[in-house]
Structures are given as structure tokens and as C-alpha cells.
């Protein structure tokens, strides 16, 4: 990989000589997402319980279909489609990603498409080829055929179909969400690329290693153009990115954020920011009803791969290996974001979602909530950023142990006498008092170069990242300007759309 240009310098988008073109193409082939140094040959799935479907309908993309369903899967259960990275297989992804654990725990079917070297020399999904990654064509059409087969086979809920993928699979995931928002209710892009970022293999490296410098509206237009005339609803999108990823640069996560928040029409100012295990920062962007529409998980120190956290705890999953990195269980948090646990995003219980959720008070370390009681509720479960934090037998709850000067998103669900969790409420945001142990609450508008010089941000690989939140601010130069807000001591978030101290 060539060194990054100095701040503010220009770089030609394509090599000028035939030799340089050849070199660039070889580089793309060698580094198209998850295959830097340990490419393995895709092999037939052999993991316990994973079976191949020999015929599932139209297959213009020449993909293989594998599936898994836990014993006793009820009718109207969700379906999750999981796309492997380059050089991997359906079996590899099934064994390491952790999705089987939550299919068993929460009851949903898994579909695992598999590509091969016949489609791409490194067994990558072709996220950069319009003949394969657009609506009604190639691999994208094959995946949707698999979805139709699974929904019919299992009697699944066609309104609760989700797709997730790693690297090249992540790039294809973003394309599928853009191509088929009428099929997928949500998606999760792991170390991947924005929808329709590249339209040729030659252009792929420009997406992987840099920014296309498009506005959020221009990124959103790529989604809207993928299915012209579609008016919604749009899928809810989770974005997972290692801050030290040098195969698919972190700017791709920012561009994914820009793309999908623009599609939702909700802007790029976070509704809440939260620290999670594994040096992970979760930034949430709520829709107009206060429900998370886009979530971005940035993992400090993590390179290129899927975030896993081996262990027996509910929040732990997966196995480590090449491009399966021990940090945090991304499958767990993604499943909860989609509501697959039947408690945090729609639920399957009989009780309706509580209404009237509001913040009744905050201190530097607590947030108090109340809501309208639900008839038939024996108790209530309270979630902070999608994670269960407590229960209450009344229509009120106080969360404690919080950080001063920090925003937290809450939802609540009613639980009946049999322990069945109902639908979750809309979210509210509570901001604790104080300055977070020294945070000034002040806003600072300056160029990226000046923000770094002032100690509010840092640069890596030619890009600028806000200190604390690690939000990608774009190129490190004097031409890009952002507003940063200090929400805690040494913790800064991008506040371009409005910043009140």
C-alpha cells in the first residue's frame, strides 16, 4: 500500500501508466477486504447443523445457499442473512461469527450465502460490480431468492428479514439494503463499504483506502437511485468499524453513517454516545419517533475483521481466528438493535409498547424515568442503548452509576406474568448533569489541522479523529472544518449541525 499524501495534497484517482494500472489492479485483488495475508480456500460447509440447499430458485449470481434453524422454530420468526468475507466460507462464518448462538437463544433462522473462486478469484462477494450487486441482477438477486425460499420453508415473518456481512460481505450488505429496502428491515455492515461506492474493480481501491469526498446527500442519492420511486420504510443500519483498519479505512464508516442518516432524513448529529466493552464507542442516530435508526460502533485499536468476544455470557459470542477479532460481540449488539431478543426493538410478546416514556430528572450519576402503565404488565424491563440495565414493578425507574455530562438513550418494555417481554417503547435521551469530570461543554469550530494542533483531535493515516469518541472527521488538512463539543474531560464529539453548551 503506498504511503498517504501529505495533508492537503492532491492524489490522482487512477495511475497514469500501464504498469501503474497493473500494479493497482493487483493491489485491489490482494486487498479486496478480508484477504490481506491469510487467504483460505472456500470449502463446502461442514459445521454442525448447517445444511446446503441445492435448489432455492433463480440463481443468476451462481451462489451456494446454506441454512440453519434451531429445533422448534416457531412460525413468523425472523430471518438473518449472513455474508462471509473474502476467502471465507459459509461454514467459517457460521462457526466463528456467533450468530448460531443467538438463533438458538432467541429463535430465528439463518441463511448463509457462499460465493466461490468461480465468481471472484479471492471468493469475494462482488460489491463493486453493477452486473452483480444491483436490484434484480447477479449475486444480489440470488440472495433475495434465498430469502424467499427460507421465508416459505420456515413460515417466517417477511417483515423481519435482516442482512449482515463482513468486509466484501459488508459491502454487499450495504448494496442489498439499498437495492431491496422492501425485503430487508435492517442491516449490519462490518468493516465494509457504503452502498454503491464503486462501480468497477479498478475503482474499488479508492473506496477501501480513502474518501470519495461526497456530501451526505450525494451518498444518500446512491441509495435512492438503487430502487427509484421507493418511499419507505428504510432499513435500520448498524455500522461496525475498527479504528485501526488499514484494509477498509475508517472513513468508510463515516460515509456509511452519512449515507444512511441522509436516507432517513435525520442529519449527522448523534442522538447519544456511549462507551461499550472492548474499547467500543457507540454513536446512535434516532429517527423522528426517537427510535434508533442508525448506529455506529467504532472500536479503538481494532484492525480489519469481525468483532467477537468468546465466552459463555449472554453478551459474549464467537471464536477468534483470521479476521475474527477478540473485542466485543458484534452479533449480540446487532441482534438487540434489530429487536431479535424480543425486547429491544419491536418484541413478539402480547403486551403493547409502553407510552409516555419521559425523563423525570437527572443528576451527575443518575437518570430517572417514568411511563404510562400497561394493563396486564407484571413488571417492566429497562434498556439503555439497547442493553438491559434493570427491571421495575412500577412505571418508573432510576438508572445509576452513570457518567456526568453524558447522554444516554432509554427504552422500556412491559413483561407479562409468564415472563414474556412485549414490544419496546420509543426512545428518550437523558443527559446527566455536570461536565463529565472536567468536560467544559464548550464547542470549538476549526479546521482539522487546527483541531489536532489544539489537542482536541488526532490524526492517523492522513485522517483526523476526534479525541475520546474517535469519530472520523475526514482528511487531516486546512481545508476541512468541523465543530467539536467537549462532552467530558478530553472527550469530543462532532457537533456540526448545532452545538449548545
- Annotated catalytic residues are 167
Asked if 425 and 412 count as a contact pair (C-beta separation under 8 A), the reply is yes
Helix or strand holding residue 297 (H, E): strand 292-299
- How many residues can be counted in the chain? 501
CA contacts within 13 A on the Cβ side of 205: 18
Q: Label residues 248-278 b or e (16+ Cβ within 10 Å = b).
A: bbbbbbbbbbbbbbbbbebebbbbbbbebeb
Q: What is the largest CA-CA distance in the chain?
A: 73
Query: Containing H/E element for 84?
Result: none
d(C-alpha 375, C-alpha 41), whole Å? 56
Asked if 193 contacts 207 with a C-beta cutoff of 8 angstroms, the reply is yes
Please, which residues have CB within 8 angstroms of residue 231's CB and are 6 or more apart in sequence?
none
- In this structure, how many other beta carbons lie within 10 angstroms of the beta carbon of residue 312? 7
CA distance 452 to 454: 5
- The span from the CA of 294 to the CA of 307, in Å, is 18
Amino acid at each position: 500500500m503506498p504511503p498517504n499524501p501529505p495533508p492537503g495534497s492532491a492524489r490522482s484517482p487512477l495511475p497514469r501508466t500501464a504498469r501503474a494500472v497493473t500494479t493497482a489492479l493487483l493491489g485491489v485483488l490482494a486487498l479486496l477486504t478480508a484477504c490481506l495475508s491469510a487467504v483460505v480456500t472456500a470449502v463446502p460447509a461442514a459445521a454442525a447443523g448447517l445444511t446446503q440447499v441445492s435448489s432455492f430458485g433463480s440463481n443468476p449470481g451462481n451462489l451456494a445457499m446454506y441454512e440453519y434453524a434451531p429445533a422448534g422454530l416457531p412460525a413468523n420468526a425472523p430471518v438473518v442473512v449472513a455474508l462471509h468475507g473474502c476467502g471465507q466460507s459459509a461454514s467459517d462464518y457460521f462457526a466463528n461469527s456467533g450468530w448460531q448462538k443467538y438463533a438458538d437463544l432467541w429463535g430465528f433462522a439463518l441463511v448463509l450465502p457462499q460465493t466461490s473462486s468461480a465468481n471472484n478469484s479471492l471468493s469475494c462477494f462482488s460489491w463493486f460490480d453493477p452486473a452483480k450487486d444491483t436490484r434484480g441482477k447477479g449475486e444480489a438477486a440470488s440472495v433475495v431468492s434465498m430469502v424467499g425460499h427460507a421465508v416459505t420453508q420456515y413460515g417466517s415473518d417477511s417483515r423481519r428479514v435482516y442482512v449482515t456481512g463482513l468486509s466484501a460481505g459488508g459491502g454487499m450488505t450495504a448494496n442489498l439494503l439499498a437495492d431491496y429496502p422492501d425485503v430487508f428491515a435492517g442491516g449490519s455492515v462490518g468493516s465494509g463499504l457504503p452502498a454503491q461506492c464503486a462501480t468497477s474493480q479498478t475503482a474499488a481501491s479508492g473506496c477501501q483506502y480513502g474518501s470519495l469526498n461526497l456530501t451526505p446527500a450525494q451518498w444518500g442519492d446512491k441509495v435512492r437511485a438503487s430502487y427509484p420511486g421507493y418511499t419507505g420504510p428504510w432499513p435500520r443500519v448498524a455500522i461496525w468499524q475498527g479504528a485501526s483498519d488499514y484494509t477498509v479505512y475508517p472513513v468508510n464508516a463515516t460515509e456509511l453513517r452519512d449515507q444512511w442518516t441522509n436516507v432517513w432524513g435525520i442529519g449527522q448529529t448523534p442522538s447519544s454516545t456511549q462507551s461499550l466493552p472492548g474499547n467500543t464507542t457507540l454513536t446512535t442516530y434516532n429517527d423522528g419517533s426517537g427510535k434508533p435508526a442508525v448506529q455506529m460502533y467504532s472500536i479503538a485499536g481494532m484492525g480489519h475483521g469481525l468483532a467477537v468476544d468468546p465466552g459463555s455470557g449472554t453478551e459474549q459470542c464467537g471464536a477468534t481466528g483470521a479476521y475474527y477479532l477478540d473485542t466485543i460481540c458484534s452479533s449480540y449488539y446487532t441482534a438487540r438493535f434489530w429487536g431479535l431478543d424480543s425486547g429491544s426493538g419491536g418484541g413478539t410478546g402480547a403486551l403493547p409498547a409502553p407510552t409516555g416514556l419521559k425523563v423525570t430528572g437527572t443528576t451527575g450519576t443518575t437518570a430517572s424515568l417514568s411511563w404510562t402503565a400497561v394493563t396486564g404488565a407484571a413488571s417492566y424491563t429497562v434498556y439503555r442503548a439497547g442493553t438491559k440495565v434493570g427491571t421495575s414493578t412500577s412505571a418508573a425507574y432510576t438508572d445509576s452509576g452513570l457518567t456526568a455530562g453524558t447522554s444516554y438513550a432509554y427504552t422500556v418494555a412491559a413483561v407479562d406474568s409468564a415472563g414474556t417481554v412485549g414490544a419496546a417503547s420509543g426512545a428518550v435521551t437523558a443527559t446527566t448533569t455536570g461536565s463529565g469530570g472536567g468536560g467544559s461543554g464548550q464547542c470549538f469550530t476549526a479546521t482539522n489541522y487546527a483541531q489536532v494542533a489544539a489537542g482536541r483531535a488526532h490524526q492517523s493515516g492522513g485522517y483526523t479523529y476526534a479525541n475520546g469518541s474517535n469519530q472520523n472527521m475526514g482528511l487531516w488538512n486546512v481545508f476541512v472544518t468541523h465543530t467539536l463539543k467537549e462532552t467530558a474531560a478530553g472527550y469530543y464529539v462532532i457537533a456540526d449541525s448545532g452545538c449548545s453548551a
